């Protein structure tokens, strides 16, 4: 229960930080449309897009690792980075102007059990 409260506090603090100056760096600040281009290129085997996709995967892996260590739980609930990126793609398809961080956090919020 303490871990759930800690996770909720972490997620809530993101909303407070959004009211101040946002502290998201790297691929998290890129718009979803850029991720979608990299994802599509990765699927089709485009070498440049594969490299870009791997940057998104690395950034997402770092975010997930940090949140998992901070909360003491598997925030992807057994998923792997590629499956997470597939789900993030769905979010980005619907919101191409949103930033990648928001898309990633939306997935993580969906995976957090509400009753724990």
Residue 95: give the domain boundaries: 2-111
pLDDT at residue 1 tops 50:
no
The rounded distance, in Å, linking the Cα atoms of 73 and 80 is 14
The answer to whether residue 17 sits within a structural domain is yes
Give the total number of structural domains in the chain. Answer: 1
For the entire predicted model, the pTM comes to: 0.77
Q: Is residue 34 part of a domain?
A: yes
pLDDT of residue 111: 86
pLDDT tier, 23 (very low <50, low <70, confident <90, very high otherwise): confident
Note whether residue 116 is domain-resident.
no
Please name the residue that has the structure tokens 């759930």.
4
Which residues have CB under 8 Å from 5's CB, separation 6+? none
Q: Is residue 48 part of a domain?
A: yes
pLDDT at residue 22, rounded to an integer: 58
In-domain check, residue 59: yes
Helices (H), 72-112: 81-94, 100-111
What is residue 105's predicted lDDT score, i.e. its pLDDT? 93
State both tokens at 94: 């619907």
- For residue 66, tell me if it sits in a domain: yes
102 belongs to a structural domain: yes
| Nearest residue to 98 via CA among 25, 18, 39, 31 | 31
């Amino acid at each position: 229960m303490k871990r759930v409260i800690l996770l909720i506090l972490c997620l809530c603090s993101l909303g407070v930080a959004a009211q101040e100056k946002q502290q998201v760096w790297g691929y998290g600040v890129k718009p979803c449309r850029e991720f979608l281009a990299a994802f599509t290129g990765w699927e089709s085997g485009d070498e440049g897009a594969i490299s870009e996709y791997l940057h998104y995967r690395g950034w997402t892996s770092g975010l997930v690792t940090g949140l998992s260590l901070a909360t003491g739980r598997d925030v992807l609930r057994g998923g792997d980075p590629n499956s997470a990126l597939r789900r993030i793609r769905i979010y980005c398809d619907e919101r191409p102007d949103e930033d990648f961080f928001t898309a990633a956090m939306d997935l993580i919020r969906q995976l957090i059990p509400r009753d724990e």
